[in-house]
Structure 1
Amino acid sequence: MTPLISYISELLYLIYMMWIVTAYCDLCRAKRTLEVEGKTPPYHMGDRIEECPCGGKYVVEEIIEV
């Protein structure tokens, strides 16, 4: 690997990405959208991430890299 390619690869690794996470309540189907920064996806599909006011849990159904 050339020094330039190595340097670019290292820079890309250090860059944080923006993720849009869409989750729906497992009881009332209310939608919750989060914007999260990180090097890797913040959640996995099916993760229960927060409590809904109705008493259910928001379940991750979509993760988009921006």
Structure 2
Amino acid sequence: MRAIPGLSAAEFGQLVGASGQSIYNWETGKAVQSLAAAFTRVYPWYWEREAAKRLSAME
């Protein structure tokens, strides 16, 4: 699920606005709501722009 190799669940969570535990739960199938369903409500261009900003801030 994580598009960037080596990114931890917590780091990916920062990118998408979720907790590391939520990412772990989605990846292991323990989440009630699927990650895909959560993201389909948001425009893809928004996440691309937001992820780029958050990655820059993490450096």
TM score, norm. by length of structure 1: 0.20
Structure with the largest fraction of helix: 2
Higher relative contact order (CA 8 A, sep 6+): 1
Q: TM-score, normalised by structure 2?
A: 0.21
